[in-house]
Amino acid sequence: MSASFPSSRRQFLARSAAGLGLGAAALRSQLTLAAALNDGHPLAPKPTHFPPKAKNLIVFFMTGGMSHVDTFDHKPKLNTDAGKKYGSSKIKASQFEFKRYGQSGRMVSELFANVGDVIDEFCLIHSSFNESGGHSAATLGMHTGSITIPLPSLGSWVSQGLGTFNTNLPSFVVFAAKEPYNAYQCWDSNFLPGYHTGVRVIPGPDPIPNLNSPVASVSRRDLERLMLRDLNEEHLKAHPSDVQLRTRITNFNTAYGLMREAPEAFDISGESDAALKLYGVDRDDRKSFGWQCMAARRLIERGVRVVELFDVGSNSNWDAHGDIETHRGLARKIDQPIAALVKDLKQRGMLEDTLIVGCSEFGRTPWEDKNPKGRGHHAAVFTTFLAGGGATRGLSYGASDEYGARIAENPVHVNDFHATILHLLGLDHLALTYRYSGRDFRLTNLGGNVIKEITG
Amino acid sequence: MAVAPLAMAETTAPDPDAGRHWAFQPVREVSLPAAADALSAHPIDRFIRARQREAGLVPVAAADRRALIRRASFDLTGLPPTPEQVRRFEADTRPNAFAELIDELLASPRYGERWGRHWLDLARYADTAGENSDYPIPQAHLYRDYVIDSFNADKPYDVFLREQIAGDIIARAGAPENYAERVIATGFLAQAKRFGTRDLEDMHLIIEDTLDTIGKVTMGLVMRCARCHDHKYDPTTMKDYYALYGFFQSAGYPYPGGESDRVQKYFAPLEHPDVLARRDKEYFSGKQPEIDRLKAELKAAKPKGDKAVKAVQAKLDAINAGSPGRRVPVAYAMHEGKAADAYIQKLGNPRSKGDLVHRGVPSFLDADAHLDIPEGASGRLQFAEWLTHPENPLTARVMVNRIWQHHFGKPIVATPSDFGIQGAKPTHPELLDWLAKRFIESGWSVKAMHRLILSSKTWQIASAHDATNEAKDSANAHYWKFDRRRLDAELIRDSMLLLGGNLDLSRPGPHPFPPADKWRFSAHRQFKAVYPSNHRSVYLMVQRLHPHPFISVFNGPDTSATTAMRDQSTVPQQALFMSNSKQVEQQAEGFAKELAAAEPDTLKRLRLAYWRAFSREPNERELERALEFLARYAELAAAENVPEAQREPQAWAALARTMLTSNEFVFVD
């Protein structure tokens, strides 16, 4: 190879050596620069509408329809009246044992014994309902407020309303081992700008696509980055006023930040033995629901605004038509981790700032499905929950009737649920609007009442 | 449904002057502003220059020839020019050199692939249905190819629209050789999103999507609100909405299959019914003796249900199945249904009937409109004719605004699918009307509009910075410079494949979907696939429910709703893809290999790399830096025990990647 420019070669080598030698430090200074530019960053934190109770949001979504009457909505009459006619079907007893937990003395089934231990932290809504009893429509409804046309998701609205704390990481991260019903529409930003879209993490060795460089050698990778930066800066010199060019350069730095910070955030090997035991995970775990919950906490600690965790996906999930006993195995995987997250956040003083919510797209019928071992879809009433983030501790809000078949008091529409979540985050659901296609849209469409008993 | 999900927010009272809104007035014949100076010889420049003078702005210099050919090439074909094309154009000083270049680019089949894609964004094109399991539609690509071919053929825009709305009706009256094309065109309507799990479930939402798309795409009218109540801002009433609704309620939509009913239904045969009837007649007349014999055998056979009887029946079935009518290819397209006016659906609820509304067009646009709908016909054809009538105030304006948008990166009306009261006002209203008139005069020729716009100085100006202008008009609303633009997703991918030596310019056949008899898709097991391809991105399989992993990261269109303008937001996943993805790595390696094969000498090879990637000669400083990079990279590789034979190729591949991911590559001046 000809090397015809010895003098400049020395300069270049000197510069690349500096770049190589400094490595992480150079990156850090770039990040400082990125941070300095944060004022103009579209995801920079924004003021709330009023003082918030919570700063962060963690959502648990149990796909397929988790039975309310077998988990958090105890209906002893199902067992006393088991086998009696109900419409064209027969009342089905719950085969799971319930017992009283905590100072609030609320009944929780054996499926969620660990959550039962921290039930005093929870606010349970026993009167949630959905407008559709179909998985896809109902899942879309729980995420966007619309059961038909896809609209921006809850997480993307929160990102739009609040921005985020660390622009090296996405504002909204979604753990989804398998795709849920309606797939990406559950975390899509739709007409909101694309940077509010949830970034999907696939639990396992490759959690975010393209996070790892194909070049194994750090020094060659850094050299290549330096070369790219040189090309771009040279180009920028000719067009100094072009913000787009500058933004794209910053964006590469953000990606390098993500490459450095995300693996560290996902790596739980430095966690204490006690913490690992709490979540029930091994040090090298990269996949289990316990790992996901721990990683969710680590992401929140590192400045991510919203994390959503999908339990399972659109199949082999909570959709227990065939046998409600399948709930046992599913619950075993998430009960301890959810309880651990609540305890862990509390120990770290993070629970008061972090709102945890959990739901399914609907509950399950108090009567037998076609297969008498199973239960069908039940959107007329089901249970959802909140914990931390200023949601009223120990509250049981609303009620279903004696069979858990219909709402007995205080119906909670998904718009109300969303309005309440936004309120705890310091956002007025009526004021969080976005103009699109000639009108102001909001997450709660034409509805939504904040449930004052929950927001305190 | 208890809540109408997309009803309008109650805010202000309707504007009593809504009927006088500019966009609803006839297109005016405007006289050209005076040619004030040498910068305003071209009619477009006169409109632009007149406003620049008022604002005290002086446009920057013309773009150099290298920038010009690169801009034109990406704009019209979506691909960079070859070094040979650039050199030839730079050397060609004849006055008509640029016009010839434009003709050459417009004549390339690559043109339709680029401009067809703009239309496919509007048509919310997808190869799947978007219901709960996202059923594949293997025939959908026929419509995609129709769009590409129509742009390449410069099909007059009015014809293009009429075919897409009523092509099946036009086809019956026309020549059999045009039958298939015209039927396929109605894929525009058939593409409406599907819902639920059953045969054409929620028909009112399918029609809603149809009306939403037609209204926004062709006339810039947002009509969705009027489904549930009179429009709060625009004069569109529920009566207007359900008058239009009747046209599509009277049409037959294809059913792509779904979770509860898996079989395709009502797809459109691609042969004229008369021809098909004749061919069927011929077919069956030849087989008549055999059919008679088999039928007689069946009649005589006892007992019924016997094995031998079954065999006879199977033979008869096979004859029927082999008939031209049963074997004709089909399209995901429309047919005429049962003609009927629609009832108003109170609050958008199809079960809550209001008054019956005669099929017709919005009264605020055409108070005296009387559509002559033949007995038993849906009226779609009459609607399409009304829509494309030269006196329709919206159709031409909306389309020239879109053409302008794609040439300049911004439209004259900033809300290209909303020309209503809530939409933006045109920045250059006279220019918009002047262009609309020329468009109609040209016979609705889209290519004529390209030639007109690209021949202006306004389009040929440099993308240079100017501090004085910047201070007065930082948004460049007055076109004092050309706005530098980032390549669209498709352009990034296609250009990388091209430089990597891997771009396949042929048109692929149908997507490799699994065979239809294997489909068991449901909400629980949605159809999901990404088919590897080296074809141009317009030919990638598009799913409604599962966005393409590359196209979606780079702000591709919404595949569930009409997209007028793509989001341009920058997300870190883009940089991750550029830096780390297998795809970019492969193209970088391919680029390095192509360069090595073409040029053994290092310096010459570097020059070639710059020409291919950036259409220009590198300066000395850039050469020095690249050489140093190569040397340093090889040294590091040596120190890290990379075998000697791999060091240089790896260094070149790394250099190639920096070029492919650089700002100069992904932004067009």
Q: Does B663 touch chain A (CB under 8 A)?
A: yes
- Mean pLDDT score, A389-402: 97
Q: What is the pLDDT of residue B164?
A: 98
The chain A residue lying nearest B1, using CA atoms, is: A131
Q: Which of B309, B315, B310, B327 is nearest to B287 (CA)?
A: B315
Q: Does A241 touch chain B (CB under 8 A)?
A: yes
Question: Secondary structure of chain A in the HEC alphabet?
Answer: CCCCCHHHHHHHHHHHHHHHHHCHHHHHHHHHHHHHHHHHCCCCCCCCCCCCCCCEEEEEEECCCCCCCCCCCCCHHHHHCCCCEECCEEECCCCCCEEEECCCCEEEEHHHHHHHHCHHHEEEEEEECCCCCCHHHHHHHHHHCCCCCCCCCHHHHHHHHHCCCCCCCCCEEEEECCCCCCHHHHCCCCCCCHHHCCEEECCCCCCCCCCCCCCCCHHHHHHHHHHHHHHHHHHHHHCCCCHHHHHHHHHHHHHHHHHHHHHHHHCCCCCCHHHHHHHCCCCCCCCCHHHHHHHHHHHHHCCCCEEEEEECCCCCCCCCCCCCCHHHHHHHHHHHHHHHHHHHHHHCCCCCCEEEEEEECCEEEEEECCCCCCEEEECCCEEEEEECCCCCCCCEECEECCCCCCEEECCECHHHHHHHHHHHCCCCCCCCEEEECCEEEECCCCCCCCCHHHHC
Alpha-carbon distances, residue A251 vs A30, A33, A219, B569, B578 (angstroms) = 11, 12, 21, 11, 11
- Mean pLDDT score, B611-631: 96
In this structure, the number of other CB atoms found within 10 A of the CB of residue B494 comes to 26
Q: What is the pLDDT of residue B140?
A: 98
Chain B contact set for A185 (CB, 8 A): 545
Residue A139 · residue A361 · CB < 8 Å? yes
Q: Which of residues 512-541 of B touch A (CB under 8 A)?
A: 523-526, 528
Nearest to A131 among B2, B576, B666 (CB): B2
Exposed (0-12), middle (13-18) or buried (19+): which is A287, by Cβ within 10 Å?
Answer: middle
pLDDT for A22 beyond 50: no
- Quick one: pLDDT band at residue A18, thresholds 50, 70, 90? very low
- Quick one: pLDDT band at residue B368, thresholds 50, 70, 90? confident
Is A212 close to B418, i.e. CB distance below 8 A?
no
The chain B residue lying nearest A185, using CA atoms, is: B545
pLDDT per residue over B515-574, tens digit each? 999 999 999 899 999 999 999 999 999 999 888 989 988 989 988 889 999 877 777 889
Chain B contact set for A237 (CB, 8 A): none
Chain B contact set for A228 (CB, 8 A): 658, 661-662
pLDDT per residue over A398-454, tens digit each? 999 999 999 999 999 999 999 999 999 999 999 999 987 667 899 999 899 999 999
pLDDT for A125 beyond 60: yes
Exposed (0-12), middle (13-18) or buried (19+): which is A72, by Cβ within 10 Å?
Answer: buried
CA dist A274 and A268 (Å) reads 12
Mean pLDDT over each residue of chain A, to the nearest integer? 89
Work out the minimum CA distance from A71 to partner chain B, whole angstroms: 23
Is A134 close to B196, i.e. CB distance below 8 A?
yes
Q: Which of residues 483-502 of B touch A (CB under 8 A)?
A: 484, 486
Q: What is the pLDDT of residue A40?
A: 63
Q: Which of residues 269-298 of A touch B (CB under 8 A)?
A: none
- Quick one: pLDDT band at residue A167, thresholds 50, 70, 90? confident
Chain B contact set for A254 (CB, 8 A): 572, 575
Q: Which of residues 399-438 of A touch B (CB under 8 A)?
A: 415, 437-438
- Mean pLDDT score, B642-654: 96
- Quick one: pLDDT band at residue A250, thresholds 50, 70, 90? confident
Q: What is the pLDDT of residue B258?
A: 94
In this structure, the number of other CB atoms found within 10 A of the CB of residue B579 comes to 26
Q: Which of residues 170-189 of A touch B (CB under 8 A)?
A: 170, 179, 181-185
pLDDT per residue over B69-110, tens digit each? 999 999 999 999 999 999 999 999 999 999 999 999 999 999
Q: Does A80 touch chain B (CB under 8 A)?
A: no
Alpha-carbon distances, residue B627 vs B439, B613, B651 (angstroms) = 52, 17, 10
The chain A residue lying nearest B641, using CA atoms, is: A217
Chain B contact set for A5 (CB, 8 A): 623-624, 627-628
The chain A residue lying nearest B610, using CA atoms, is: A231
Nearest to A227 among B417, B526, B629 (CB): B629
- Quick one: pLDDT band at residue B301, thresholds 50, 70, 90? confident
A104 versus B17: which is more confidently predicted?
A104
pLDDT for A28 beyond 50: no
A437 versus A456: which is more confidently predicted?
A456
Q: Does B570 touch chain A (CB under 8 A)?
A: yes
- Mean pLDDT score, B616-643: 95
- Quick one: pLDDT band at residue B6, thresholds 50, 70, 90? very low
- Mean pLDDT score, B270-291: 92
Q: Does A37 touch chain B (CB under 8 A)?
A: no
Q: Does B11 touch chain A (CB under 8 A)?
A: yes
- Mean pLDDT score, B381-405: 97
pLDDT for A6 beyond 50: no
Q: What is the pLDDT of residue B511?
A: 97
pLDDT per residue over A147-163, tens digit each? 988 899 999 999 999 99
CA dist B383 and B377 (Å) reads 12
Nearest to B5 among A170, A252, A445 (CB): A445
Q: What is the pLDDT of residue B558?
A: 87
Chain A contact set for B7 (CB, 8 A): 445-446
CA dist B659 and B669 (Å) reads 16
Q: What is the pLDDT of residue A225?
A: 94
- Mean pLDDT score, A215-222: 91
Q: Does A202 touch chain B (CB under 8 A)?
A: no
Chain A contact set for B572 (CB, 8 A): 170, 251, 254-255, 257-258
Report which residue type is found at A89.
Answer: S
Q: Does B422 touch chain A (CB under 8 A)?
A: yes
Q: What is the pLDDT of residue A240?
A: 83
pLDDT for A11 beyond 80: no
CA dist B279 and B273 (Å) reads 10
A45 versus A193: which is more confidently predicted?
A45
Is B585 close to A134, i.e. CB distance below 8 A?
no
- Gyration radius from chain A CA atoms: 25
CA dist B25 and B366 (Å) reads 10
Q: What is the pLDDT of residue B502?
A: 98
pLDDT for B594 beyond 50: yes
Main-chain phi, psi angles of A84, to 5 degrees: -70, 150
Chain B contact set for A149 (CB, 8 A): 5-6, 561
Chains A and B form CB pairs within 8 A to the count of 239
- Mean pLDDT score, B316-345: 94
pLDDT per residue over A60-93, tens digit each? 999 999 999 999 999 999 999 999 999 999 999 9
Work out the minimum CA distance from A302 to partner chain B, whole angstroms: 17
Is B663 close to A249, i.e. CB distance below 8 A?
yes
Is B632 close to A314, i.e. CB distance below 8 A?
no
Is A248 close to B666, i.e. CB distance below 8 A?
yes
Chain A contact set for B622 (CB, 8 A): 234
- Mean pLDDT score, B47-58: 94
Strand partners, B265: B255
Q: What is the pLDDT of residue A38?
A: 46
Q: Does A136 touch chain B (CB under 8 A)?
A: yes
Q: Long-range contacts of range B605-612, CB-CB < 8 Å, 24 or more positions apart?
A: B608/B83, B609/B655, B609/B656, B609/B659, B610/B659, B611/B83, B611/B86, B612/B80, B612/B82, B612/B83, B612/B499
pLDDT for B233 beyond 80: no
Is B465 close to A245, i.e. CB distance below 8 A?
no
Q: Which of residues 358-387 of A touch B (CB under 8 A)?
A: none
CA dist B577 and B555 (Å) reads 13
pLDDT for B225 beyond 90: no
Is A16 close to B545, i.e. CB distance below 8 A?
no
pTM above 0.95, yes or no: no
Distance, C-alpha B500 to centroid of its chain: 26
Mean pLDDT over each residue of chain B, to the nearest integer? 93
pLDDT per residue over B487-522, tens digit each? 999 999 999 999 999 999 999 989 999 999 999 999
pLDDT for A33 beyond 70: no
